[in-house]
Amino acid sequence: MDEKFSFALRKIALLGGINNYIAVSSRELGVVLGMSQQSASKRILELLDEKYLVRDLGARKQRIKITDSGVEELKKEYNEYRRIFELTDHVAIHGKVVTGMGEGGYYITQKPYMDQFQSLLGFRPFEGTLNIKVSKEDLGKLEVIRYTPGHLIEGFEKDGRTFGNVVAYKAKIQNLECALVIPQRSHYSDILEIVCKFHLRRTLSINDGDEIGVIIDLSSLSSEDQISGMT
């Protein structure tokens, strides 16, 4: 997103325009943005055009509100700042081991995925993923990961079935090299899927319900395959 848009959106958010329609004239917005009434009016039109803002243009005064997609853009920047000031190069996430639906394991063992794993992360995952249900306190950290570029593992087609893109992040569990994998088109989830060269449950002697910590690396990217996480 253009910086001029995020600047305006941020100021509108500070005026309370995230959850409610707020009455702001173009003159008032101009003062807040440090520009003329004309330019503020233009900026509003541009933001409407980009669908970052919706407007209720009354006779006396317009009322504006930031759309979900506008909030999304602001969160991206917020998370950049969080990476800068809270977590420089990694996030530690705690959760409980759970049994997944087994889907992840089937997916990841597909050869095209495996090959890319080998070249991007340096190992071929053992079949099956370890599923971790993230503890409540750490849910906020998932957003940071979501907005951090990871290793893009490209999807493919096979037997008429589509295997989508997957984003991987290097990770560690008790000093064991592993990786967090997130299907790129997935929706919000509080389950982390971890793959490893070894059978994690056996190697670390862990079972369902056990508390476990994962360290996710956010800084290990080669410049080519930068891509952001889930939608």
Partner DNA sequence: ATTACTAGTAGACGAGTAA
Partner DNA sequence: TTTACTCGTCTACTAGTAA
Contact set with DNA (CB under 7 A): 4, 24-28, 30, 35-39, 41-45, 57, 60-62
Rounded least distance, CB 29 to a copy of itself, Å: 12
- What is the residue whose two structure tokens read 């290793």? 151
- Written as six digits, the tokens of 118 are 């080998």
| Distance (Å) of CA 228 to CA 20, 33, 163, 167, 182 | 29, 30, 18, 8, 10
d(C-alpha 196, C-alpha 210), whole Å: 18
In this chain, which stretch among 57-65, 83-91, 99-107, 172-180 interacts with a copy of itself, using CB under 8 A? 83-91
In this chain, which stretch among 82-90, 98-106, 109-117, 194-202 interacts with a copy of itself, using CB under 8 A? 82-90
d(C-alpha 41, C-alpha 47), whole Å: 10
Q: Which of 29, 49, 48 is nearest to 39 (CA)?
A: 29
Of these partners, DNA, a copy of itself, none, which one is at the site of residue 35 (CB under 5 to 8 Å by kind)?
DNA
Q: Is 157 in the site for a copy of itself (CB under 8 A)?
A: no
Residues 12-31 that bind a copy of itself (CB under 8 A): 13-14, 16, 18, 31
Q: Is 115 in the site for a copy of itself (CB under 8 A)?
A: no
**In terms of CB distance, is 46 or 177 closer to DNA?**
46
Burial class (CB in 10 A: 0-12, 13-18, 19+), 179: buried
In this chain, which stretch among 49-57, 74-82, 130-138, 169-177 interacts with a copy of itself, using CB under 8 A? 74-82
